[in-house]
Amino acid sequence: MFSSKNPPRGRICGVLFLLVAGLGLSACNETGTPPSAAVPLTASPEDMVLIPAGPFIMGSDKSDDSGKQDEYGLVKPLYLDEHPQRTVELPAYWIDKYEVSNRQYRVFVQARKMPEPFEWSQNGYNLREDRLRATDLESLRWIATEYFKLDIDTRRSGRDELLRLMLADQQAKDVLPATGAIWFEANRYCHWAGKRLPSEAEWEKAARGTDGREFPWGNDWDAGLANTGDNEDWGEGMAPVGHYEKNRSPYGVYDMAGNAWEWVADWYKPYPGSDYFVAEAF
């Protein structure tokens, strides 16, 4: 999925949550352009969810809490740029059930010879044995420590063990959400996959349903349901795609809160009739 409320707004489909980190991808199909011309709207494309046509409540009229703004070190208010709350009508569309994983995005990078996300070169995800500059034991020990940050005493490890541990680390990263892609790369990924970025309205409806709830699961915050700064797992970094079973929207879309930011197609700007000015956020 890609969505973020930074310019341009963007889930490769997603809503901005306060304590998310990185950038996630998700893709969305318009009703008129389903993933395959042979797939009717009543069928379910693989790992996509149909969001039915109709109205939903978008935005919020809640007042800001200056205490939380200070606590989280936020430059902009929490709710002011969500004003005014209103009803928005949308046609039916498909949206990815899960965020785009590193494994999925890597297929695109290799097929189109795209730049790798910066994080991949920092955590060793882009390395394979045939891409290592050297495979002697001392070089592997250095790579395991400096790139993979393996929590082991590499002085006690042999070549085969180091290669096995690095491969296992990469396989664990396969299922993490793809992060670090700029909007244009996310947009290209969507088109390559036969999809497109969702609009902010499409992302928000997929995230909260039609009842105006504040979180995908309801109106009460529960730190144990998402990977955020309030969760004890936060220090471990990104969680695998779909890891939090209860972090689902009313339509069954996962990870719409926490873990990774997601791009949407829209530019960041105040809503019509808003009392918020974009300049306050930058």
Q: Distance between CA 63 and CA 83 in Å, rounded?
A: 9
What global pTM score does this model have?
A: 0.77
Q: Quick one: 87 and 197 in the same domain?
A: yes
Tokens representing 2? Answer: 């890609």
pLDDT at 46: 81
155 part of a folded domain: yes
pLDDT at 29: 61
Q: Quick one: 1 and 126 in the same domain?
A: no
Nearest to 95 by CA among 214, 188, 2, 229: 2
Question: How many CA atoms lie less than 13 Å away from 257 in the CB half-sphere?
Answer: 28
Of the residues 174, 204, 221, which one is the last residue of a structural domain?
174
Q: Quick one: 233 and 259 in the same domain?
A: yes
109 part of a folded domain: no
Q: Residue 14 corresponds to which amino acid? A: G
The tally of domains found in the chain comes to: 2
Residue-number span of the structural domain to which 37 is assigned:
1-101+178-282
Q: Quick one: 222 and 251 in the same domain?
A: yes
Segments in the chain below pLDDT 50? 1-23, 31-42, 280-282
Q: Quick one: 123 and 155 in the same domain?
A: yes
Q: Residue 268 corresponds to which amino acid? A: Y
Of the residues 174, 198, 218, which one is the last residue of a structural domain?
174
Q: Quick one: 188 and 257 in the same domain?
A: yes
43 SS3 class: coil
Q: Distance between CA 26 and CA 53 in Å, rounded?
A: 20
* The residue to which tokens 């995005």 are assigned: 105
Q: Quick one: 186 and 263 in the same domain?
A: yes
Q: Quick one: 47 and 90 in the same domain?
A: yes
pLDDT at 151: 85
Q: Quick one: 156 and 239 in the same domain?
A: no
pLDDT at 242: 92
Q: Quick one: 73 and 212 in the same domain?
A: yes
pLDDT at 25: 57
Checking DSSP bridges between strand 48-51 and strand 93-96, what pairing results, if any?
A: antiparallel
Contacting residues for 248 by C-beta, under 8 A, at least 6 apart: 216, 217, 254
- 28, 202 contact by CB (below 8 A): yes
30 SS3 class: strand
